[in-house]
Structure 1
Amino acid sequence: MYQNWFYVGAALICVSVAWLMAEVLGRSQAKRSGIPTKGVAVRISAAAILIAMAGTAYSYFNIYQDYGLASRAELPAAIKAIADAKAAKIAAEIKAKKDAEEKDAAERARLLAEADRQREVAWAQKEAEDKRCGMGAVLSANIRYDLRQEPKEDAEKFLNVAATEVTKTLHYKNIDASTMVRVVGCMGDWREVKITEPLWLADNMGWVPVSVLRDVEYNPGGKRVYTEADFYWESDTIAYRTQLVAAVNKIVRETPGCEKIQPASLALSPTRGTPGDPVFFVTCDAGPAKNVWFRPTDQ
């Protein structure tokens, strides 16, 4: 209370001094103008200054009571203790804020680390699943199989509209030994595949059991190695299948522009060769399609 009255008294002293100065200046100007003045206001303002000073002094010397002290001599230590307590409070608040920020930063770091760990686990699981499924692998088929719209045997098939319209019987899109497919999906023992060869079937895709798929061989030079499973064997080719496969692989290795062939095109030439010396042909598919004729002994 006394401290507040001290500030009030100080303010009143300032106001009273300003009032006194204004009255003194006003009286001086009045005298120069010949206007008589009694100087009552000057005396009142001077008295106000004295009263304000007395009240201020009284309040000043009793401020120690505001702090519950017995004497003014204890006031400096009390003020210092209050200042120290205030400084300690500010320091504690700063430390608490810093500790909270450090805790938040540590929690964010923990969450980020956990997110990274979960991503690594998820990526490892995906890699393991992709490896199990052979995602992206290019394979062929060991039998003819109709593509399914879902990964189950009784799922709806994809109708081959063009073939159905020509033959007037139902035909479905399928894969067989002459096709190459890329694995693009996986569910249990089923794989979603997209045909990559022949190119004119490249828009076809669907689900097949993993059991109908087989690996494709390549030589050290990266060229495909064809096997008996890649071809359709007719009555006029099956007797020569071992020699024909060897001859076709030689063509793939050595004939420019024939790094790929159309396996379904392998056939006996109706115009070349004789029954005792047959000639066969296969269609190259690495550039502009062309036929290559050969004998079983061309190995």
Structure 2
Amino acid sequence: MTPRPATAQPLKSYHLLHAAVTGAAEADADAAVLARSVRSVVAGFVEHAVYAQAAQAAARTLGAGQRARRLQQGFTCDANPLAALLFGAGENAEFDRRWNALNRLARLGVRTHLEESPHASAPSLRRQPQAAAADSAFRSELVEQCIEAARSCAQQRPANADRPDRLFGLAQALALPGSAAADAIGMLYEEPATELLDAAAQLGCAPRTLQRDLGRHGLTFGLVKQAVRLTIAGYRLRNLDESITATAQAAGFFDSAHLNHAWEAACDIAPSVYRTLAGRR
């Protein structure tokens, strides 16, 4: 697996880093948390320049404790397949392998590499800025905290925690009272290729009513459907030995090309690469 040229597209940073410095990871309203969880499945990155600018603005006021809390809260509701890949690494060495591979392969503004040292209790972190702009000690500390939070999630996760319907559980906990959002997400997990008209009919409401209900959460039916399909595909890529075509069909995509396109927008690597990183062939 050869890393792609860093200049092919705008350089990126993971969405939780940006959320941690802007305060989005501490959204009070449950509906806002659900919306962010769904959106970050479909688009797991922000442009690195946007993140770097936000980090510079927050550097003087955002303390280490607040950063750590925001990252921990963010990972709790992070349904992006990349988070699931890291959380599935039960051993520290496997976590480091997956982290390093993702940093090598994705178009990141700063690539980081965890290195074991016989004289240290924890791996050291080597940073490789890909952008012309100067690196930042604040962002370096934030990434170290991000790794610590992700590693903690991986170590504490129960063995049976990897589920294909990750967003359904979040919707049940976070959807507004009386909302059909959780029912719509649950229905899409059963039939991920369902269109809006059929979904509304199955839920016993008008299409406009369903769209308005999802809109109260800052969501659209198309966005929810895409996120559901990606989480289904992610689960299958991590856990099943099947072709990409079979994964695409089971997740409700028209074909493997549509899955590839959506997956790269979500994770910035190909589904086949993700499957290999998860230990599947």
TM bin, normalised by shorter chain, reads under 0.3
* Structure with bigger RCO (C-alpha 8 Å, 6+ apart): 2
Q: Which protein is richer in helix relative to its size?
A: 2
If you compute each CA radius of gyration, which structure gives the higher value, 1 or 2?
A: 1
Give the TM-score taking structure 1 as reference length.
Answer: 0.24
Give the TM-score taking structure 2 as reference length.
Answer: 0.25
